[in-house]
Amino acid sequence: MPFLDLAGRVREVRERIDAAARRGGHGQTVTLVAVTKAHGPEALQAAWDVGLRDVGENRVQEALDKMDALRLPFRWHLIGHLQRNKVKHLTRFHLLHALDRASLADSVSALGASAGRTFDVLVQVNVAGEETKGGHSLESLPAEADRLATLSGIAVRGVMTMAPFEAGEAALRRVFQGARSARDVLLAAGHTEARELSMGMSGDYEIAVEEGATYVRLGTTLFGARTA
């Protein structure tokens, strides 16, 4: 049976998260999102069996295939870039982590309006200014935060960010602190439920939690190296 050591890995991760939260002193509750990208349905079954209930996927179609294959009632998180022609599939997700541009916000809000509901979203911010990553800059965020407040089909729940790959601790902390500042911008613009911080992956999640993360997105740490 695959992933026989998953229970032990989850237990260790949760212990590390709890310790990091105590060190950071922000008093937050941290949700562990298990990222099963490039792993098959057996990874999902193993996750369910050890009590994980939040699952993250980068690609819409991969997520839909897994949803239909197992039909387990996970809370599904879409954590990757979303093309506007696939916005319609958000009806099957719990939370969109990567609201990274104004045109996507408009499309998501329009879907919400037509469906008579709102979609929970996190605003992606590109704190480090990396050209290879999407998201709003800290400088452009205040204007977009005001604009988002006029869109009735979305509910802004907080911020998502990604730190540069192989960044040192000081750089990581600057990025995660920048995300906290971005959350403050959203709150000041009237997004009163924008309390979440989705930041931290397998290589940096403990520092992210110390800096206030409420969601950490872990794949390799839980399931091992990906095959694609």
Q: Is a pLDDT exceeding 80 seen at residue 228?
A: no
Instruction: Classify residue 192: in a domain, yes or no.
Output: yes
* Contact assessment for residue 1 and residue 49, using Cβ atoms and an 8 Å cutoff: no
pTM, full prediction: 0.95
Q: Which residue has the higher pLDDT, 112 or 38?
A: 112
Instruction: Of 85, 65, 82, 86, give the one whose Cα is nearest residue 121.
Output: 82
- Structural domain count, the chain: 1
Both structure tokens of 100? 């990274």
Instruction: Classify residue 41: in a domain, yes or no.
Output: yes
Give the CATH number of the domain where residue 54 resides: 3.20.20.10
Instruction: Classify residue 136: in a domain, yes or no.
Output: yes
Residue 135: per-residue pLDDT: 97
Residue 131: per-residue pLDDT: 85
Instruction: Classify residue 10: in a domain, yes or no.
Output: yes
Instruction: Classify residue 228: in a domain, yes or no.
Output: no
Q: Is a pLDDT exceeding 90 seen at residue 225?
A: no
Residue 1: per-residue pLDDT: 53
Q: State the Cα–Cα distance between residues 164 and 162, nearest whole angstrom.
A: 7
- Domain range holding 69? 6-223
